[in-house]
Structures are given as structure tokens and as C-alpha cells.
Amino acid sequence: MKVKKLCKIAAFVLAAIVIAGCFTGCKESDDIARSKYRITAQIDTSDMTALALCEIDYVNNTDVELDEVWFHLYPAAYRNGARYTPVTAAEIDSAYPSGVSYGGIEIRGVTGGEYEIGGLDEDVLIVKLPKAIMPTQRVTITVDYKLTIPNMRHRFGYENGTINLGNWFPVECAYDGGFDASPYYSNGDPFNLPVCDYDVSIIAPTEYTVAMPAPAERKEDGDKTTTTCKLDKARDFAAVLGKFDTVSQNTAGVSVTYYYTSDDKAEEHLKAACDALSYFSSSFGAYPYKSYSVVQTAFNQGGMEYTGLVYVSDAARDKMITEIIVHETAHQWWYGIVGNDQVKNAWLDEALAEFSTTLFYRNHPDYGVKYTDRIADAMGGFSLYCELSKCSDTSMDRSLADFSTPSEYTYMTYVKGQLMYDSVLNFIGEKNLVAGLRNYATKCAFSTARPDDLVACLEQTSKRELKPLMSGYIDGTAKLYSFN
């Protein structure tokens, strides 16, 4: 996610040791079997609800026998009375311009096992299997559910003519010695998802275009149109409904489309998406999908990433639109292709998405943003934040639950991340850093990386010991300034 706070930061600031080998815990992508999701949803725009059926061909990707399977019910966070709400109190005005509104998910039936609703906030669907499944075995589970879409500018919500379907279906909880049932923290992007295959059909009034993350088929039947697409090896699946204008271009074999509601520089922003996709493909490895959709929509932060599709806030203006597009495009590699636990190690994708944006500008001087200015802004912002907040803990690697404020999360994750990568670049050079990131993107493709995997891949490529340098930043043990 590109947080809006960063606009404020920018405005505020303007006032050799050879490593013999390397170990990464990432599984090669070919080793990972994937669950398959077939979802059909009928959207009723008269009351902003949807009836949906999600058929899951679930694969036991663990090394233990499973007698139950857990699924996140993220839309439950949008209900009245949720303990973990999608936005903080400070964001209520920007998230709910038309007044507070609630949504939710109602499970109407499950086949494939008995079920119960659990988790920390009645936000997990637990399906108890009639017969346990062994590792690599599959089971079919079908969930019949009803969504109520809240009137809000968020991942899941509608406002200003667009309907965001993000994190909108039951999705399997990652398993690492137990199912990860992390709730919907308002900080960051509270997700930890394996890659899966998707086949999604959305039935909506014909007047709406449904922006999808992959080439879609539209079948019109009077006032209803079904839009269908398939997307394999995806970290998630999101769609946005709206009455869009579009511009498209092919770049590096990928069809890039910008869906927009109001933008007099649409061609320029399409070019930014193409330039970013092309630069990151040549730097970190080819973008593995056929299409890429950038969608201008109602969103209370800057932008939001999903595989093959990103949101750009309709409130963003001018150069901020370009920056959001580049940042969210970088997430196609950091979050999408290389996954990470965004609850426990949020910095792993956010710091890289932010620094990749800085690298993009460094290699595209025609965009008029200087590398040195971005690093100076980060340095000035971080030092001022630390001085004013008297922060005693500057560790980056903590759970979303352990950041006391959204500002602390932003400064420790995005801003300090920029400074860490700038130090690494100064130590090993841009060429080695980019080659190391390409190594990381290759070794950890379609897997869930850990911080040690990243450090090991950078060390392997550069043949330099980087752990002491990076750990100082990550653990907060290095003192960057005299007052922290």
C-alpha cells in the first residue's frame, strides 16, 4: 500500500567480507502446489450487496495431516461492532466521507465439512473435514455467502461511483505450525497469503465496467453482464467496478490498462505504469502475467496492490499519481511474486516497494525526481520524527500490532527502509544491489520470504557480508542519530 502519510512527509520535509555460500528457506515455485478458487458473485447495486459462491479446491501444502482448514473472512472487519476495524479513529473522516457505514459477510452455507466461525474477531471460517487430508492431498470446499459492501473509501467498499472488491472472499489462512488467523489490523496491509489459482466471474449491471487483473471476457445479457477471468499463481484477486474511461498499451508482452474516472493526464499515467513495469521486469525478472490493470478508484490512502491490479486513489493529484503507480507496480514483485508475512514483516515488501520507486526515478531522470532528494527527504523526515516522538524503539521488524501509531509504522517501515537500502547501495553499489534483488525475486518467487532470505540473497550476489549492516536497521540496534 502507498500510504497517504507519505505525501505529508514530503511536504513536511520540504518546509568486505566474501561470503562462501547462502541459505534461503524459500521453496522453489515448482515445489508449491496451489489451491484453486472458483468464485461467482452477483452484485446488486440497488442495496450494495452481493451473493457469491466460492468453490475451493484446497491443497494441503503443509507437512502435517489436517483435519480442519481455516479461511480468513476479511469483510467481517467492516461490520458494526468489529473489534479490529479497518481504519483507525483518525482516518474515519477520510474513509467515510458520507458518514460511517458498515458492511460484512454472512456465511449462508458450506459444503465439504461442518463449519464454525472463530478467530480473534469472528473473522475466521473453520471447516472441520469429515476425513483428514494428508500433505499434498486435496479437498473441495464450497462456501455460499452474502456480502454487504460498506459505503467507504477502502479496499472493500463503494464511493464516488466505484466499487472496490478487495479481500472480499474466504481465503485460506497460511500455515506454519498452525493456521495464521491474524485479524484485520488497521495499520498496514494485514495479509499473509499463499499463491493460488483463480477463476472469477462477476455479474453486475451492464453500465459498469469490471476492471480485472487478467484478460477478461464480457458476456452481456440485457441489463446484466458477466465478466470472467482466470489468474494463476496469484497472491490474491481483486476487482473494481466503475464507469471508467480506459487507455491501454502493450509493453514487454504485457497489456497494460489504466482505468480512470477523472484524469486529464491519463496517457502520461499509463506511460508511468508501462515504464515502471518495463524497468522492474528488466531489473528484477519478467512480470509473469499477461496483463496489468491500474485503476483509479475511491481509496483513503494513496494506493493498494493486488496481483495484476492496483488501486490509485481518486484523491491523488499530479506527480503523486505517478509515484503511487510506480510504488504499487513495484509491489507486483515485492508482495506479489515474492510474498511475505505482511503482518509480522511488513517492512519486507513496503521498504522494497518504496526503494524500488526511488531506483526507478534514479534511472528515469526525465521524471524529474532526484535520488538524492528522495533520500534526503527520508533522512530529514526520519530524524525529525525521532526527535519529536522521542522514539526509543526504531526496529523495523515487528508485528503490525506492535506499532503504537500509524505514523510510527510509516516511519519505521517505509522511511527507515529507504535509508537502509541507501546504505546497502552505498556499500555494494547499485548494480550489485539490483542483481541481489533479482536473485531474491528468482529464489523466492511465489513463495513466502523471511527477512533472512532477503539478506542471504543480497550477500550471495554481492559476495559481501551485509547482515551486520542490515540488522542494525532492521532490529533498531544501529543508532542513526544521536537522539535515538
Residue ranges in contact with Zn ion by CB under 5 A: 1, 350, 353
For the bound state, the minimum distance from the C-beta of residue 101 to Zn ion, rounded and expressed in Å, comes to 25
In the bound state with Zn ion, the residue whose beta carbon lies nearer, of 1 and 26, is 1
In the bound state with Zn ion, the residue whose beta carbon lies nearer, of 328 and 422, is 328
For the bound state, the minimum distance from the C-beta of residue 326 to Zn ion, rounded and expressed in Å, comes to 11
Alpha-carbon separation of residue 49 from 190, 204, 239, 246 (angstroms): 24, 11, 15, 26
In the bound state with Zn ion, the residue whose beta carbon lies nearer, of 149 and 400, is 400
Which residue type, as a one-letter code, is found at position 439?
A: N
Q: Which single residue is written with the C-alpha cell 484524469?
A: 263
In the bound state with Zn ion, the residue whose beta carbon lies nearer, of 79 and 398, is 398
According to DSSP, residue 117 is labeled: E
Q: What is the DSSP string of 418-437?
A: HHHHHHHHHHH-HHHHHHHH
Residue in 62, 441, 36 with CA at minimum distance from that of residue 234: 36
For the bound state, the minimum distance from the C-beta of residue 341 to Zn ion, rounded and expressed in Å, comes to 15
Residue 69, beta-bridge partner list: 127
In the bound state with Zn ion, the residue whose beta carbon lies nearer, of 4 and 34, is 4
List all residues 6 or more positions away from 299 whose beta carbon is below 8 Å from its beta carbon. 153, 154, 155, 164, 311, 312, 313, 314, 315
Q: Which single residue is written with the C-alpha cell 556499500?
A: 427
In the bound state with Zn ion, the residue whose beta carbon lies nearer, of 172 and 354, is 354
In the bound state with Zn ion, the residue whose beta carbon lies nearer, of 115 and 361, is 361
The strand ranges marked E within 168-302 are: 171-172, 196-205, 209-211, 217-221, 224-234, 239-242, 245-251, 254-260, 291-297
Which residue type, as a one-letter code, is found at position 411?
A: Y
According to DSSP, residue 475 is labeled: S
For the bound state, the minimum distance from the C-beta of residue 353 to Zn ion, rounded and expressed in Å, comes to 4
List all residues 6 or more positions away from 334 whose beta carbon is below 8 Å from its beta carbon. 340, 348, 349, 350, 352, 353, 356
Grid cell locating 33: 502446489
For the bound state, the minimum distance from the C-beta of residue 332 to Zn ion, rounded and expressed in Å, comes to 11
Give Cα 438 distance to the centre of its chain.
19
For the bound state, the minimum distance from the C-beta of residue 111 to Zn ion, rounded and expressed in Å, comes to 37
In the bound state with Zn ion, the residue whose beta carbon lies nearer, of 414 and 446, is 414
End-to-end CA distance of the chain: 27
For the bound state, the minimum distance from the C-beta of residue 350 to Zn ion, rounded and expressed in Å, comes to 5
Grid cell locating 482: 544521536
For the bound state, the minimum distance from the C-beta of residue 330 to Zn ion, rounded and expressed in Å, comes to 8
